[in-house]
Chains A and B, each alone.
Chain A
């Protein structure tokens, strides 16, 4: 009779350094305030346009509205009933319901106060984190993909592994996987600059000083649309992020993001990668 292989106790490794954890938790708060106050600001005029101008009599590609106690979303000319979720919900005729806006009632001035204050937290945090990333080698060693990882076959393998929800284990879990790296790089150097610049493009004073903002985004109303789409994309990122945390083991992931210490998930007993 053979005994089962002795399973070595999973190694506890120090994976998440303090600046990364600070950046993460500051943003966990900041992003929620930005998204929720942003939705309140959107409620002030829940219509989106493309081009330089756009107001009530112009064609909106997206509108969230209500008729009586019926809520609807009109997307590219197609009306979708959304009563109870958008347009009319919780007894309130607002585009986004009170549960997800800051403040919960219509108050544009206060929402702007929250939005612009936390915009600074986001931007200042980002600047410090960029400095940290460059000087600590976090960018080169942790985030940028290696030549090996950038190869098509390797990326394709990672995509398939994600699609089957097979997350890295053992030594491979010591580092971010390629798709994870791409997601973080896109947030840091794609999404955040896009949100800041589309935000600035909505400022008439900044438009005068930096007219290239309007050229870049094809007008102020297009910038407003992109700002909204960017926020939606980030909300989707948060959802995927949370799902991945749950799949990867929420306790272990949370400990790693709070204390820095991460228990390497043991290797799978059966070699599985025959794809």
Chain B
């Protein structure tokens, strides 16, 4: 004889109530603020453990390359301007370097390819958990910033991208330690071929030692700023604004 409420229903119902309670706890601003203490502690601890943050990410050999490097995030760009550039092989596309610099730059893909370059075989780590290894070739970001004459007021470098997610423009930002790190490059080639559109053609950021969402694709403009608060959601990046992903992206 079963009652009106079966044990199973009671379990499932009770479980759902419990879950709803847990989720309400998760979305409470006070709880999130308290939990984010852990994030701040992780960031400080990492900065302390890592010291001057000059260590190089492990570099691999061509034998270690992922057979297939999956595409994720934005896989293409629908902005008319970008599509026009893509159609003619980015021949008259230029990268803008501006903001707090003495000499704003406008650099063609040809100029970037002619500049001193760095090639590195590194591991890309997505926040979701997967990793893929590829060879990247590009211009060290520090080189461009020095050439543009970075102001002493500048504290962050912002990457404005051509792609949008959920109707919002993608952007990312890093601090100057990461910007001048030798492995931080603006890559125009992947595995010795021009950067494919799925991976951010014509130019993407490689900021090794950070999670995948920091590696902005389709970089159109680089801006040196004093503060991130005036930009978009104010947290320094698309995922940081949209979903509270960590700006320092160290773990």
Contact = CB atoms under 8 A, between A and B. Distances in A.
B67 A109 contact: no
Interface string A31-62: 00000000001101101000011111110000
Interface string A204-248: 111111110010000011001000000000000000000000000
A116 B32 CA distance: 12
B52 to A, nearest CB: 10
A108 B19 CA distance: 16
Contacts of B81: none
B58 A113 contact: no
B21 to A, nearest CB: 10
A206 B251 contact: yes
Contacts of A117: 34-39
B208 A204 contact: yes
A205 B22 contact: no
Interface stretch (B126-134, B147-155, B225-233): B126-134
B128 A113 contact: no
A179 interface: no
A102 interface: yes
A210 B46 CA distance: 11
Contacts of B70: 55-57
A160 interface: no
B23 A103 contact: yes
Given A204-B123, A204-B250, A116 B42 contact: yes
B208 A58 contact: no
B243 A109 contact: yes
Contacts of A141: none
Given A53-B66, A104-B23, A109-B245, A221 B131 contact: yes
Contact of A103 (B22, B123, B129, B243): B22
Nearest to B67: A57
B49 A116 contact: no
B234 interface: no
A261 interface: no
Given A200-B251, A206-B46, 4 more contacts: A55-B132, A114-B35, A116-B251, A120-B42
Contacts of B55: 208-209
Contacts of B246: 112
Contact of A204 (B23, B128, B129, B210): B210
Given A58-B66, A104-B19, A205 B131 contact: no
A224 B146 CA distance: 39
Contacts of B64: 52-53
A108 B127 contact: yes
A194 B53 CA distance: 25
B38 A204 contact: no
Given A116-B42, A203-B46, A56 B130 contact: yes
B250 A206 contact: yes
Contacts of B36: 113, 117
A41 B245 CA distance: 13
Residue among B34, B58, B210, B244 having the largest count of chain A Cβ atoms under 10 Å: B58
Contacts of A55: 66, 68-70, 126, 130-132
25 contacts: A42-B129, A44-B127, A53-B132, A54-B130, A55-B66, A55-B69, A104-B20, A104-B22, A109-B239, A110-B244, A113-B35, A116-B38, A116-B39, A200-B251, A204-B57, A204-B125, A204-B208, A205-B53, A205-B210, A206-B46, A206-B250, A207-B57, A209-B49, A209-B51, A220-B131
A102 B211 CA distance: 22
B130 A45 contact: yes
Nearest to A105: B23
A55 B20 CA distance: 33
Nearest to B132: A55
A22 interface: no
A18 interface: no
A228 B51 CA distance: 29
Contacts of B56: 208
Contacts of A114: 26, 35
A53 B66 CA distance: 7
A118 interface: yes
Contact of A209 (B23, B50, B244): B50
Contacts of B73: none
Interface string A92-126: 00000011001111011110111011111000000
Contacts of A199: 251
